[in-house]
Amino acid sequence: MKQDNNTVTEFILLGFTTDPLTQQVLFVVFLAMYALTVVGNCTLIVLICNDSRLHTPMYFFIGNLSFLDLGLSSVYTPEILVTCISEDKRISFGGCVAQFFFSAGLDYAECYLLAAMAYDRYVAISRPLIYCQAMPIKLCIFFVTASYLGGFINSVIITRDTFSLNFCSDNVIDDFFCDIPPLVKLACGKKGSYQTVLFFLLASNVITPIVLILASYLFIITTILRIRSTQGHLKAFSTCSSHLISVTLYYGSILYIYARPRSSYSLDRDKIVSTFYTGVSHVESHDLQPEE
C-alpha cells in the first residue's frame, strides 16, 4: 500500500456531535448494542456447534453469518466508542487502511453468503424430504469459502484504489469510521478511474447477489403457491423469514449509502444510516428451532 502520493499521515474522526452529553449518551447506546451483538452472536455460534440437532446446512450458514456480523461489529464499534468519549479522535493512516480493508472484506463476504443462503432456503422449501442430500456439507463449505475469498479479494482491490487517492492536506473524516463516501470527499485530484472501479465492485458484489437472491425468492414464491394448505404456507414462510429480514436490512442500508445519485448525497444523512447499519442491522435474531 503506497503512501508516497499522500501528505496525510493520520485522520481525525469527527463522529456524530461535539456535545459532551450527547457523546456520553451515544457511548452508552453503542456499548449496549455492541454487547448485545457480541453476546447474541457468540451464543448462537456456541449453540449451533454444540447442538447436534442444529448441524444442518441452514444453521451452518446462520453460524457463519453470525461470525461475519460479529466481525463487522468488532471492526467498527471499538473505534466508534473511542470517538464518543475521547478528546483524541485521531486514527493513523495504517489504522484507517486496516479498518477499511476488514470492513470491506467482511461486507462483501456477507453479500455472497446471503445469496448462498437464499439458494439454501429455496432447496429447503422445494425439496424438504431430501434437503440434506441436496445441500451436502461439501457444497456448504464451498459456498462459505467462496464467499470469504471473493469478499477479501475484492477488498484488496477497493482498499488499494481508495488509499491510492491523493488526500492532500484535509484529514478530517466527517463520520465515525473510515468509509468510502467521506474518504472520497476528502480526496483531491481526478477520481474518474476510481469511480469506475467502485461502480464495477458495487455491481459485482452487491447487485449480482441481489439478482441471485431475487431469483431464488421468485422460485420460492412459485413453490409456495403450489402448496395448498395454510399450514404449509406458514411453515414455508417461517423457513425463510429471518433470512428475508436480514437481506432487507443489510442491502437496504448499503444501497442507500453507496448507490444513490451524487446529487442526493449527504454526509449527515449517511451518518444516520451507517449508524443504523453498523449498530442495529448486525444485532440479529434467528429461530433456533431445529427443522423437522
The beta strand positions in the chain, using DSSP E, are 10-13, 90-92, 172-173
pLDDT score, position 141: 96
Report the largest interatomic distance among the alpha carbons of the chain, rounded to a whole angstrom.
67
pLDDT in tens, 258-273: 655 555 455 555 555 5
Percent of the chain with pLDDT over 90: 28
Task: Answer yes or no: is pLDDT of 211 > 70.
Answer: yes
Q: What is the mean pLDDT of residues 243-251?
A: 77
Neighbours of 143 (CB within 10 A): 21
CA distance 122 to 117: 9
Res 84 pLDDT > 50 = yes
Q: Which residue has the higher pLDDT, 193 or 68?
A: 68
The per-residue pLDDT for 285 is: 47
Question: Residue 270: its pLDDT value, please?
Answer: 57
* Domain residue spans of the chain: 10-279
Which of 14, 39, 11, 208 lies closest to 96, judged by CA?
11
**Mean pLDDT score, 127-145:** 92
pLDDT in tens, 153-169: 999 999 998 988 888 76
- Residues shown for the chain: 292
Q: What is the CATH number of domain 10-279?
A: 1.20.1070.10
- Give yes or no for a contact between 120 and 207, defined as CB atoms under 8 angstroms apart: no
pLDDT at 2: 43
Mean predicted lDDT score pLDDT of the chain: 81
Cα(290)–Cα(272) distance, integer angstroms: 37
What pLDDT was estimated at residue 85? 83
Compare 265 and 117 and report the one with higher pLDDT: 117
Instruction: Name which residue leads in pLDDT, 99 or 6.
Output: 99
Say if residue 101's pLDDT is above 60.
yes
Does residue 154 contact residue 205 with C-beta atoms inside 8 Å? yes
- How much of the chain, in percent, has pLDDT values that exceed 70? 81
Three-state SS letters, 161-183: HHCCCECCCCCEECCCCCCHHHH
In the prediction, which pLDDT does 42 show?
93
